[in-house]
Amino acid sequence: MNKIIKVVFLILGISFFSNLCAYADDIDINYNSDKGIFTMPFGRSYDYSNIIVTRAVDGDTLVLENGERVRLIGIDTPELHESDKLYRDSQRTKQDVGTIQKLGQQAYEFTKKLVEGKPVSLEFDVEKYDKYNRLLAYAYLKDGTFVNAEIVKQGFASLMTIAPNVKYSELFDKFYKEARKNQRGLWK
Protein backbone atom coordinates (compact mmCIF):
# COMPACT_ATOMS: atom_id res chain seq x y z
CA MET A 1 0.00 0.00 0.00
CA ASN A 2 2.83 2.43 0.86
CA LYS A 3 4.34 1.89 -2.59
CA ILE A 4 1.06 2.79 -4.28
CA ILE A 5 0.75 6.00 -2.26
CA LYS A 6 4.37 6.93 -3.10
CA VAL A 7 3.73 6.31 -6.81
CA VAL A 8 0.55 8.41 -6.72
CA PHE A 9 2.39 11.28 -4.99
CA LEU A 10 5.25 10.96 -7.47
CA ILE A 11 2.86 11.18 -10.41
CA LEU A 12 1.04 14.13 -8.85
CA GLY A 13 4.36 15.86 -8.16
CA ILE A 14 5.58 15.36 -11.73
CA SER A 15 2.25 16.62 -13.06
CA PHE A 16 2.36 19.70 -10.80
CA PHE A 17 5.96 20.48 -11.77
CA SER A 18 5.19 20.06 -15.48
CA ASN A 19 2.26 22.47 -15.21
CA LEU A 20 4.38 24.91 -13.24
CA CYS A 21 7.07 24.86 -15.92
CA ALA A 22 4.46 25.36 -18.65
CA TYR A 23 3.35 28.61 -16.99
CA ALA A 24 6.75 29.63 -15.61
CA ASP A 25 6.94 32.70 -17.84
CA ASP A 26 4.39 34.30 -15.54
CA ILE A 27 6.32 33.64 -12.32
CA ASP A 28 8.89 35.85 -10.65
CA ILE A 29 10.54 34.97 -7.37
CA ASN A 30 11.11 38.12 -5.28
CA TYR A 31 13.75 38.41 -2.59
CA ASN A 32 13.56 41.39 -0.26
CA SER A 33 16.74 42.61 1.37
CA ASP A 34 18.11 45.80 2.86
CA LYS A 35 19.42 46.63 -0.64
CA GLY A 36 15.99 46.50 -2.24
CA ILE A 37 13.98 43.87 -4.02
CA PHE A 38 15.75 41.38 -6.25
CA THR A 39 13.48 39.69 -8.75
CA MET A 40 14.53 36.39 -10.22
CA PRO A 41 12.55 35.22 -13.20
CA PHE A 42 11.75 31.53 -12.86
CA GLY A 43 11.86 29.33 -15.92
CA ARG A 44 12.43 32.13 -18.42
CA SER A 45 15.01 32.17 -21.10
CA TYR A 46 15.88 35.49 -22.65
CA ASP A 47 16.73 36.45 -26.16
CA TYR A 48 20.01 38.24 -25.62
CA SER A 49 20.13 39.11 -29.31
CA ASN A 50 17.46 41.77 -28.80
CA ILE A 51 17.07 43.03 -25.24
CA ILE A 52 16.56 46.56 -23.96
CA VAL A 53 19.07 48.30 -21.69
CA THR A 54 16.87 49.97 -19.08
CA ARG A 55 19.71 51.89 -17.46
CA ALA A 56 23.41 52.36 -17.16
CA VAL A 57 24.57 51.83 -13.58
CA ASP A 58 27.95 53.38 -14.35
CA GLY A 59 30.30 53.48 -17.33
CA ASP A 60 30.78 49.72 -17.60
CA THR A 61 27.69 48.15 -16.02
CA LEU A 62 24.18 47.97 -17.49
CA VAL A 63 20.77 46.78 -16.34
CA LEU A 64 18.62 44.90 -18.84
CA GLU A 65 14.83 44.88 -19.13
CA ASN A 66 14.79 41.46 -17.41
CA GLY A 67 16.53 42.95 -14.35
CA GLU A 68 19.90 41.32 -14.99
CA ARG A 69 23.09 43.32 -14.64
CA VAL A 70 25.70 43.17 -17.36
CA ARG A 71 29.37 43.90 -16.72
CA LEU A 72 30.93 44.90 -20.03
CA ILE A 73 33.94 42.66 -20.68
CA GLY A 74 37.42 44.06 -21.21
CA ILE A 75 36.86 47.61 -20.04
CA ASP A 76 37.00 49.50 -16.77
CA THR A 77 35.60 52.97 -16.18
CA PRO A 78 36.34 55.12 -13.13
CA GLU A 79 34.14 54.41 -10.14
CA LEU A 80 31.07 56.57 -9.75
CA HIS A 81 29.58 55.10 -6.60
CA GLU A 82 31.00 54.62 -3.10
CA SER A 83 32.75 51.27 -2.98
CA ASP A 84 35.87 49.52 -1.79
CA LYS A 85 37.12 49.63 -5.39
CA LEU A 86 36.80 53.43 -5.40
CA TYR A 87 39.16 53.67 -2.43
CA ARG A 88 41.54 51.05 -3.84
CA ASP A 89 41.66 52.96 -7.12
CA SER A 90 42.32 56.18 -5.21
CA GLN A 91 45.27 54.62 -3.40
CA ARG A 92 46.59 52.97 -6.56
CA THR A 93 46.37 56.07 -8.77
CA LYS A 94 47.11 58.65 -6.05
CA GLN A 95 43.98 60.56 -7.17
CA ASP A 96 41.47 61.81 -4.64
CA VAL A 97 38.10 60.07 -4.48
CA GLY A 98 36.24 63.15 -5.76
CA THR A 99 38.35 63.33 -8.91
CA ILE A 100 37.77 59.66 -9.67
CA GLN A 101 34.02 60.08 -9.15
CA LYS A 102 33.95 63.10 -11.51
CA LEU A 103 35.67 61.00 -14.17
CA GLY A 104 33.24 58.19 -13.38
CA GLN A 105 30.34 60.59 -13.92
CA GLN A 106 31.69 61.49 -17.38
CA ALA A 107 32.06 57.82 -18.32
CA TYR A 108 28.56 57.11 -16.99
CA GLU A 109 27.05 59.97 -19.02
CA PHE A 110 28.74 58.68 -22.18
CA THR A 111 27.55 55.11 -21.65
CA LYS A 112 24.06 56.25 -20.66
CA LYS A 113 23.70 58.30 -23.85
CA LEU A 114 25.08 55.43 -25.92
CA VAL A 115 22.84 52.59 -24.68
CA GLU A 116 20.09 53.54 -22.25
CA GLY A 117 16.62 52.66 -23.53
CA LYS A 118 18.04 50.96 -26.60
CA PRO A 119 17.97 47.33 -27.72
CA VAL A 120 21.29 45.52 -27.69
CA SER A 121 22.66 42.17 -28.68
CA LEU A 122 24.93 40.43 -26.18
CA GLU A 123 27.89 38.23 -27.04
CA PHE A 124 29.44 36.07 -24.36
CA ASP A 125 33.02 34.90 -24.00
CA VAL A 126 34.27 31.87 -22.07
CA GLU A 127 32.69 32.79 -18.71
CA LYS A 128 29.09 34.00 -18.66
CA TYR A 129 28.96 35.32 -15.06
CA ASP A 130 31.35 37.08 -12.70
CA LYS A 131 31.66 36.47 -8.96
CA TYR A 132 28.87 39.01 -8.34
CA ASN A 133 26.51 37.02 -10.62
CA ARG A 134 26.50 39.74 -13.27
CA LEU A 135 26.42 38.69 -16.91
CA LEU A 136 29.78 39.21 -18.58
CA ALA A 137 29.22 40.33 -22.13
CA TYR A 138 30.13 42.30 -25.20
CA ALA A 139 27.21 44.49 -26.26
CA TYR A 140 26.21 45.65 -29.72
CA LEU A 141 23.65 48.25 -30.72
CA LYS A 142 21.29 47.46 -33.56
CA ASP A 143 23.30 49.73 -35.90
CA GLY A 144 26.31 47.45 -35.31
CA THR A 145 28.13 49.72 -32.82
CA PHE A 146 30.31 47.56 -30.58
CA VAL A 147 29.52 49.19 -27.22
CA ASN A 148 32.55 47.97 -25.24
CA ALA A 149 34.91 49.07 -28.02
CA GLU A 150 33.16 52.43 -28.52
CA ILE A 151 33.54 53.33 -24.84
CA VAL A 152 37.28 52.64 -25.05
CA LYS A 153 37.65 54.24 -28.49
CA GLN A 154 36.06 57.49 -27.30
CA GLY A 155 38.36 57.59 -24.27
CA PHE A 156 35.97 56.75 -21.45
CA ALA A 157 37.52 53.48 -20.25
CA SER A 158 40.77 51.81 -19.41
CA LEU A 159 41.38 48.16 -20.12
CA MET A 160 40.52 45.32 -17.80
CA THR A 161 41.61 42.05 -19.32
CA ILE A 162 40.75 39.05 -17.18
CA ALA A 163 41.44 35.62 -18.64
CA PRO A 164 39.79 33.62 -20.02
CA ASN A 165 37.55 36.42 -21.38
CA VAL A 166 40.08 37.95 -23.76
CA LYS A 167 38.46 37.65 -27.18
CA TYR A 168 38.78 41.35 -28.11
CA SER A 169 41.67 42.40 -25.87
CA GLU A 170 43.96 43.30 -28.80
CA LEU A 171 41.26 45.48 -30.39
CA PHE A 172 40.56 47.21 -27.08
CA ASP A 173 44.30 47.79 -26.56
CA LYS A 174 44.55 49.44 -29.99
CA PHE A 175 41.57 51.72 -29.30
CA TYR A 176 42.85 52.56 -25.80
CA LYS A 177 46.25 53.66 -27.13
CA GLU A 178 44.62 55.73 -29.88
CA ALA A 179 42.28 57.46 -27.40
CA ARG A 180 45.19 58.32 -25.08
CA LYS A 181 47.36 59.54 -27.95
CA ASN A 182 44.55 61.70 -29.37
CA GLN A 183 43.42 62.88 -25.90
CA ARG A 184 39.82 61.81 -26.27
CA GLY A 185 37.25 61.52 -23.49
CA LEU A 186 38.84 61.26 -20.03
CA TRP A 187 42.34 61.66 -21.49
CA LYS A 188 41.90 65.38 -22.32
Tell me the residue length of the chain: 188
Gyration radius of the chain over CA positions? 21
Beta pairing partners, 74: 160
Residue 79 appears among annotated catalytic residues = yes
- The sign one gets for the Cα dihedral 187, 73, 168, 150 is negative
* Active-site residue, selected from the candidate residues 68, 71, 170, 184: 71
Residue 134 appears among annotated catalytic residues = yes
Residue 156's nearest CA partner among 118, 100, 113, 111 is 111
Beta pairing partners, 28: 41
* Active-site residue, selected from the candidate residues 134, 170, 178, 180: 134
Residue 65 appears among annotated catalytic residues = no
* Active-site residue, selected from the candidate residues 65, 68, 79, 123: 79
Three-class SS of 147-177: HHHHHHHCCCCEEECECCECCCHHHHHHHHH
Number of H-type helices and E-type strands within the chain: 5, 9
d(C-alpha 29, C-alpha 36), whole Å: 14
Q: What residues are labeled active site?
A: 71, 79, 134
